[in-house]
A and B are shown apart, each in its own frame.
Chain A
């Protein structure tokens, strides 16, 4: 494949992708999406939140989970960074601490896919900064 160096190259890729992907209906509908928010403040970044976020994006794609991965600020659990807030459709948000790749894998395989409770949940007594 040729090197991608300009917007024209990007457009070419976009056309390819466009003809290939199934455009999901309601793909941005919050009722059907799993929302994953990664704490991306100083404390999170220093603990590897960037790698955690990349992993969540790649792994949810890989497993074809309808998820939207975004960033949020510090929730005050600096000791437990990287922290991740997961909201399953129609459920209350759940916050997990110390989310490295192994933990992220467990969250996807057990909490997101099977809905099981797993170790490492932080009781949610805060409001996210967006609220």
Chain B
């Protein structure tokens, strides 16, 4: 995974597969404590304490098509390489929160990458799931969610070319206006 947005794209699939109907992405840049926190919260099926322990092991997966599951281990590795950590909290039947903290200014923190593209692609890829994205920096906060978008679009699909491009641009412009780090 080259960028943090790749990791988010990956973790979102976990949530979708857990049957979540509402998935929140929260990114918080804290210059004072030098932390770049990424949190993905879902209302999916959740995991037991034992499964949470195993989730970061590369040879644990709930899939039957293959025997490895590298999404969370790779995220943990990248977070730790930049002086951060990965915490998973989960309640069976209620949902899961995956929180990765990176060192904001650490040289080994991957760049955020194309988060706007990730948000739009995932929303198009799973039209029946609600997605929210909040990005907070010292300058301000920006939030977008598919519920609000769908209401405004009044039945026009998000995948309509002009709309897709406009939403991507909207996210990029707003991230710029809150001085989001690369």
Main secondary structure of the interface of B (DSSP, over half): helix
Is A70's CB under 8 angstroms from B126's CB? yes
Q: Is the CB of B124 within 8 A of A57?
A: yes
Q: Does A13 contact B (CB under 8 A)?
A: yes
Q: Is B71 an interface residue (CB 8 A)?
A: yes
User: Is B26 in the interface zone, CB < 8 Å from A?
Assistant: no
B71 touching A42, Cβ below 8 Å: yes
Are B13 and A71 in contact, with the CB atoms below 8 A? yes
Contact A10 B170, CB 8 Å, known A50-B118, A61-B161, A71-B125: yes
Contact indicator A3/B173 (Cβ below 8 Å): yes
Contact A42 B70 (CB under 8 A): yes
- The listed residue (A13, A14, A45) touching B6 by CB distance below 8 A is A45
Given contacts A11-B152, A13-B163, A45-B10, contact A40 B169 (CB under 8 A): no
Chain B residues contacting A42 (CB-CB under 8 Å) are: 1, 10, 69-71, 74
Interface residue A102 (Cβ < 8 Å from any Cβ of B): no
B77 CB, nearest partner CB in chain A, Å: 12
Whether B125 pairs with A74 at a CB distance below 8 angstroms is: no
Tell me which residues across on chain B come within 8 A of A61, comparing CB atoms.
161
Q: How far is the CA of A53 from the CA of B121 in the complex (A)?
A: 8
In the assembled complex, the CB of B55 is this many whole angstroms from the nearest CB of chain A, namely: 13
* Across-interface contacts of B162 in A (CB, < 8 A): 13, 16-17
Cβ contact within 8 Å between B65 and A74: yes
Say yes or no: A71-B121 contact (C-beta < 8 A), given A76-B65, A76-B66. yes
Q: Which of A1-19 contact B (CB under 8 A)?
A: 3-7, 9-11, 13-14, 16-18
0/1 interface trace, chain A 37-69, chain B, CB 8 Å (1 if under): 010111101100010011001100100000011
- Cβ distance B111 to chain A, nearest Cβ, rounded Å: 15
- Contact status A17-B163, CB under 8 Å: yes
Instruction: Tell me if B159 counts as interface (CB < 8 A to partner A).
Output: yes
B170 touches A54 (CB 8 A): no
Q: Give the docked Cα–Cα distance between A95 and B22 (Å).
A: 30
* A→B interface (CB under 8 Å): 3-7, 9-11, 13-14, 16-18, 21, 38, 40-43, 45-46, 50, 53-54, 57-58, 61, 68-71, 73-76, 78, 126, 129
A-B contact pairs, 9 of them (CB 8 A): A7-B152, A17-B160, A41-B71, A42-B74, A61-B161, A70-B124, A71-B13, A71-B121, A76-B66
Q: Which 9 A-B pairs have the closest CB atoms?
A: A71-B125, A76-B65, A42-B71, A17-B162, A13-B166, A4-B170, A4-B169, A70-B125, A61-B161
For the complex with contacts A57-B124, A58-B161, A73-B13, 12 further pairs of A-B residues with Cβ separation under 8 Å are A4-B169, A5-B170, A6-B170, A7-B148, A7-B170, A17-B156, A17-B160, A40-B13, A41-B10, A45-B6, A50-B6, A74-B65
